[in-house]
């Protein structure tokens, strides 16, 4: 008899965790599992995509406001009572807490799995720290099992006081046709990241400034929410570093695939990451990648010469220069090596199989 598993997630907006859940649902073994999804808020961009897989999705009609939390929890409990799943698998902190509470008080309690999608270096404000304290306390009695998408995240949560062992299952990527690298008179280095402190856009821009002192035949591309001409902090940095004519800004609406096809290097300058999905997507396209040593970047990329210390613009600029100084055939080889690593270790079919086997073992150890 198939195992009924309900996934609970804070929202179904466009994001790394949300996209990974969609891919997992698409590649899970539907002969062995009957999945359903509860989205705790009304943000549901991926609703139609998940429903097209023939999966039942319940979108709760609430906004992400603190005063809605009791209503969200109660409504989630009501839906779970009707579904009667064997396993409830929650994704992201708010879903872990609210979905965990809603499940904990069911008369026939399913197995509760928490999925952690972040490291702790981004937990900085007093409100984030207070909420994390609540998560840490409830982690001791609500979830039966905890899984993390990154080794770094698992280690940090354990050190911070999570008592039980945290299983690590990395994110997975869909096969994609590699791009054709070519010698261009003007090279392009790009990053896809929403404008938040942990993505450290200043390090990217400072590295671009240092790079241009040695090579002006390059343009830089920033794509993500907040990466636009209306961002006063971003505009201030561009003026200070004299980069306005060298940097393209795009909001998140631009196609990821379309952007990647125009790049010679993909990069990430974060000081905090879990498992950096966007690097895996670029690797799958065969694009040389350079990124900071945040989260599990080292595990994903593996090649130490492509990993630089966090908040070190000089090291980032030197790594870009090193890659772009390679002959074309060497850059092509580098990109294809990165693509092969993703295919062998992080293809979504392999990751989905890991989840399926683990979920099965929870009920039938």
Q: What is the pLDDT of residue 254?
A: 63
Interval 119-141: pLDDT, tens: 887 777 888 889 899 999 999 99
3-state secondary structure of 147: strand
107 falls in which pLDDT band (50, 70, 90)?
very high
Burial 157-168 (b: 16+ CB within 10 A, else e): beeeebeeebeb
Phi first, then psi: give them for residue 193, nearest 5 degrees: -165, 135
9: pLDDT strictly greater than 70: yes
274 falls in which pLDDT band (50, 70, 90)?
confident
* Averaged pLDDT score across all residues of the chain: 93
The Cα–Cα gap between 115 and 98 comes to 13
17 falls in which pLDDT band (50, 70, 90)?
confident
Interval 151-184: pLDDT, tens: 999 999 999 999 999 999 999 999 988 888 888 8
What is the mean pLDDT of the segment spanning 308-313?
97
256: pLDDT strictly greater than 90: no
Q: What is the pLDDT of residue 259?
A: 82
Going by their DSSP bridges, the two strands 166-168 and 111-116 should be labelled as unpaired
Share of the chain above pLDDT 70, in %: 99
28: pLDDT strictly greater than 90: yes
What is the mean pLDDT of the segment spanning 66-73?
84
The dihedral over CA atoms of 236, 239, 240, 246, expressed in degrees to the nearest 10, equals 120
Query: Cα Rg for the chain, rounded, in angstroms?
Result: 21
Tell how far CA 168 is from the center of its chain. 14
Whether 76 contacts 8, CB under 8 Å: yes
253 falls in which pLDDT band (50, 70, 90)?
low
Phi-psi region of 70 (alpha: psi -120 to 50; beta: other; left: phi over 0): alpha
Whether 224 contacts 194, CB under 8 Å: yes
Q: Which residue has the higher pLDDT, 100 or 194?
A: 100
The answer for residues whose C-beta is within 8 angstroms of residue 346's C-beta and 6 or more apart is: 170, 171, 172, 173, 280, 300
Share of the chain above pLDDT 90, in %: 77
Tell how far CA 316 is from the center of its chain. 22
Element (H, E) at 9: strand 3-9
The Cα–Cα gap between 64 and 360 comes to 33
Residue 213: exposure state from Cβ atoms within 10 A (0-12, 13-18, ≥19) = exposed
241: pLDDT strictly greater than 80: yes
Interval 325-361: pLDDT, tens: 999 999 999 999 999 999 999 999 999 999 999 999 9
Q: What is the pLDDT of residue 94?
A: 92
User: 267: number of CA atoms within 13 Å, CB side?
Assistant: 33
Whether 335 contacts 286, CB under 8 Å: yes
Beta bridge partners of 268: 291
Percent helix, percent strand, percent coil in the chain, to nearest 5: 45, 20, 40
């Amino acid at each position: 008899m198939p195992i009924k598993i309900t996934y609970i997630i804070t929202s179904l907006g466009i994001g790394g965790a949300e996209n990974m859940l969609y891919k997992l649902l698409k590649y899970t073994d539907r002969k062995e599992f009957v999945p359903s999804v509860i989205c705790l808020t009304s943000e549901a961009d991926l609703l139609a995509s998940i429903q097209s897989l023939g999966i039942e999705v319940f979108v709760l009609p609430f906004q992400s406001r603190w005063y809605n939390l009791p209503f969200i929890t109660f409504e989630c409990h009501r839906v779970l009572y009707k579904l009667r799943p064997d396993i409830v698998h929650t994704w992201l902190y708010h879903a872990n807490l609210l979905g965990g509470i809603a499940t904990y008080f069911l008369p026939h309690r399913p197995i509760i799995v928490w999925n952690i999608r972040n490291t702790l270096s981004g937990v900085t404000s007093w409100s984030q720290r207070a909420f994390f304290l609540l998560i840490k306390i409830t982690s001791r009695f609500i979830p039966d099992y905890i899984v993390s998408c990154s080794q770094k995240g698992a280690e940090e949560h354990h050190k911070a006081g999570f008592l039980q062992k945290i299983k690590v299952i990395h994110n997975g990527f869909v096969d994609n046709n590699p791009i054709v690298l070519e010698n261009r008179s003007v090279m392009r280095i790009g990053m896809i990241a929403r404008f938040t402190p942990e993505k450290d856009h200043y390090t990217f821009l400072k590295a671009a400034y240092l790079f241009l002192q040695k090579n002006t035949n390059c343009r830089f591309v920033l794509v993500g929410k907040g990466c636009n001409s209306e961002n006063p902090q971003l505009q201030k940095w561009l003026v200070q570093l004299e980069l306005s004519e060298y940097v393209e800004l795009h909001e998140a609406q631009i196609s990821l695939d379309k952007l990647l096809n125009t790049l010679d290097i993909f990069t990430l300058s974060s000081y905090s990451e879990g498992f950096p999905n966007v690097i895996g997507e670029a690797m799958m396209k065969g694009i040389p990648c350079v990124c900071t040593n945040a989260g599990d970047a080292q595990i994903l990329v593996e090649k130490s010469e492509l990993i630089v210390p966090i908040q070190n613009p000089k090291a980032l600029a030197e790594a870009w220069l090193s890659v772009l100084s390679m002959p074309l055939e060497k850059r092509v080889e580098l990109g294809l090596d990165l693509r092969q690593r993703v295919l062998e270790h992080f293809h979504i079919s392999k990751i989905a199989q890991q989840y399926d086997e683990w979920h099965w073992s929870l009920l039938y150890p």
